[in-house]
């Protein structure tokens, strides 16, 4: 596997966590109409993205395959729970 193919796989592996982390803080503020958290959006993005990557790697290691729906369910639940905790802070 070449370097570009490896980079392509890494970007596509992290894409669900990236987009979820990017959109979740914005949607929280849009849907509630209030300031979402005492934390800034970049910090919320970073924390949710990091937690999402950990979940994706754990899903790959434990299930032996990338892209299982159980992994994506865990990703969404982890991100939503993290956003909920940040909102209460």
Q: What b-and-e string marks burial along 15-48, b requiring 16 or more CB atoms within 10 Å of the CB?
A: ebbeebbeebbeebeeeeeeebbeeeeeebbebb
Quote the DSSP letter at residue 36. -
Considering only CA atoms, which of 84, 71, 70 is closest in space to residue 17? 71
Reading the chain (89 residues) residue by residue, the pLDDT tens digits are 899 999 999 999 999 999 999 999 888 878 777 765 678 889 999 999 999 999 999 999 999 988 899 999 999 999 999 988 888 75
The pLDDT value recorded for residue 77 is 97
Beta carbons of 58 and 11 less than 8 angstroms apart: no
The pLDDT value recorded for residue 28 is 82
The pLDDT value recorded for residue 56 is 96
- The encoded tokens of residue 72 equal 């994506």
């Amino acid at each position: 596997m070449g370097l570009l193919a490896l980079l392509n796989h890494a970007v596509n592996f992290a894409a669900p966590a990236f987009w979820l982390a990017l959109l979740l803080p914005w949607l929280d503020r849009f849907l509630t109409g209030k300031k979402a958290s005492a934390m800034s959006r970049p910090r919320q993005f970073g924390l949710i993205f990091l937690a999402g990557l950990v979940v994706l790697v754990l899903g790959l290691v434990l299930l032996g395959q990338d892209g299982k729906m159980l992994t994506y369910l865990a990703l969404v639940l982890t991100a939503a729970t993290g956003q909920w905790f940040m909102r209460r802070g």
